[in-house]
Copies of this chain bind each other. A is one copy, B any other.
Amino acid sequence: MADVAAAAGVSHQTVSRVLNNHPAVSAQTRRRVHEAIAGLGYRRNVVARALATGTSHIIGVIVSNTTLSGPSGALLAIEQAARTHDYWVAMVGLQSQEPSEMTDAISHFVDLGLDGIIVVTNTEAAKDAALAACGATPTVLVTSARTPPAYSTVDVDQAGGARTVMTLLRGLGHTRIAHVGGPDGDLHAAARLGAWREGLPADVDADALFATGDWSSGSGYRAAMEVLARPALPTAVFAANDRMAFGVLRALSERGLSVPGDVSVVGFDDIEGSECSIPPLTTIRQNHNALGRAAMDLLLEAMERKPARSHRVPAELIVRASTGAARRGT
């Protein structure tokens, strides 16, 4: 910067003013400085600027379970939204459910002097660890967990999406609707499970229609096989995510049951490939881009010390060929 100042015949402070678009610089000086910058190929040192201002224009994003399409889609959408606001993203993908890993990641981000942090998490424990560690750094959570009112949150309307599924299936005449749920402790799994149970007729034995998976397609296959081995066959299966729904489709296929003729199947997420399963899968689409934009907007508000608020992104039902009317008499 000193070189630029010398080349333009001004002080380093004037160069700084030009760089920051400070109004009190004459047009002529401004031009001379710009020429000197271009001539010397000068680039401002971002680290020194961060040290002097205490602001880095970088936000941190922490995602809990990156092997899933949901969190990783959210990460990428957030990064995209951040960049449209001229923020850059540092990220950590947690490998375990250990709260300590979350704590370490957050406190490193705080040390780094990041302008803000967005935490994408699906468990209460991870959320609590994040809030305990984030201190005064503006933080937004992408989660379905309840949070103290001081923190903004964003999530896709999980329960609403799941209720839409149940409304669709009930409207098609289904009553014995099985559910392949996600893992215990996962808040999305819990929200989808809750909506399923509430959408079931009161006289149906929910426990007999329920099995649990770990989000993987293999676990969906096994869960479906387990349910199909029980006395009363379901007429529809609502899987808590598309991958498990793939496993359900395969299980039904192997058992010689047609979809949707014998059994209807619904998933959740609308991942790539759902439109080309056999048959194409009815599912709930999560709008990651809207989620990412909302998270970034709320973080910007938090950085301006505006009051926290929460935003819920609606889920969209995508009806494909895997759902049809319930068979009479079953």
Contact = CB atoms under 8 A, between A and B. Distances in A.
Interface of A: 43-48, 50-51, 56, 58, 66-67, 69, 72, 76, 79-80, 83, 88-93, 95, 107-108, 110-113, 216-218, 220-221, 242-243, 246-247, 249-250, 253, 271-273, 275-278, 280
Contacts of A90: 58, 88-91
| 10 residue pairs, one from A and one from B, having the closest CB atoms | A217-B276, A246-B276, A247-B276, A66-B76, A250-B276, A90-B90, A278-B278, A246-B273, A217-B273, A47-B51
The CB with the most chain B CB atoms within 10 A, among A72, A108, A243, A276, is that of A276
Given A47-B50, A90-B90, A250 B272 contact: no
B278 A253 contact: yes
The CB with the most chain B CB atoms within 10 A, among A72, A113, A216, A277, is that of A277
Contacts of A51: 45, 47-48, 51
Q: How many copies does the complex hold?
A: 2
B46 A217 contact: no
B278 A250 contact: yes
Contacts of A275: 217-218
Nearest to A44: B111
Task: State the majority secondary structure of interface residues on A.
Answer: helix
A277 B76 contact: no
A283 to B, nearest CB: 13
A80 B112 CA distance: 19
A220 B276 contact: yes
Contacts of A272: 67, 69, 216-217, 243
A256 to B, nearest CB: 12
Nearest to A251: B276
Contacts of A80: 93, 95
Nearest to A58: B90
A112 B76 contact: no
Contact of A108 (B88, B113, B242): B88
B92 A276 contact: no
A141 to B, nearest CB: 20
Given A90-B90, A242-B273, 14 more contacts: A45-B51, A45-B113, A47-B56, A47-B112, A51-B51, A72-B72, A79-B92, A83-B92, A88-B108, A89-B91, A89-B92, A243-B276, A250-B278, A273-B273
The CB with the most chain B CB atoms within 10 A, among A43, A56, A218, A246, is that of A246
Nearest to A83: B92
A34 B17 CA distance: 42
